[in-house]
Amino acid sequence: MSRGLNNWNATQIIRFLKHNSFTHVHTRGSHFYYIGKIDGKDRQVCVPVHSGASIHPKTMKSIIIQSGLSEKFWLS
């Protein structure tokens, strides 16, 4: 079963990013910043961490774009 944009929380996103070679570089308030190298380019992703709540679909879409990984890869 594929994951939709509504089914992600910050912990799951962070686990996915770490699994795909992103590393935590700093935190500012409740936002965690990760950097990874995708297709030879450095990519920075900001993940909002708010009490285990689900990430809004528009925010999730932005995280996908920031990561440089395809939406299909994220949702499969």
- Span 21-37, pLDDT tens digits: 999 999 999 999 999 99
Percent of the chain with pLDDT over 70: 96
Residue 15, domain member (yes or no)? yes
pLDDT above 70 for 1: no
**Three-state DSSP string of the chain:** CCCCCCCCEHHHHHHHHHHCCCEEEEEECCEEEEEEEECCEEEEEEEECCCCCECCHHHHHHHHHHHCCCHHHHHC
Domain with 37 in it: what CATH number? Answer: 3.30.920.30
Q: Region 53-73: what's the mean pLDDT?
A: 95
Q: Sorting pLDDT into bands at 50, 70 and 90, what band is 4?
A: confident
Q: Please give the backbone phi and psi of residue 17, each rounded to the nearest 5 degrees, phi first.
A: -65, -45
The domain total for the chain is: 1
Residue 3, domain member (yes or no)? no
Write down the pTM of the prediction.
0.91
- How far apart are alpha carbons 1 and 35 in whole angstroms? 29
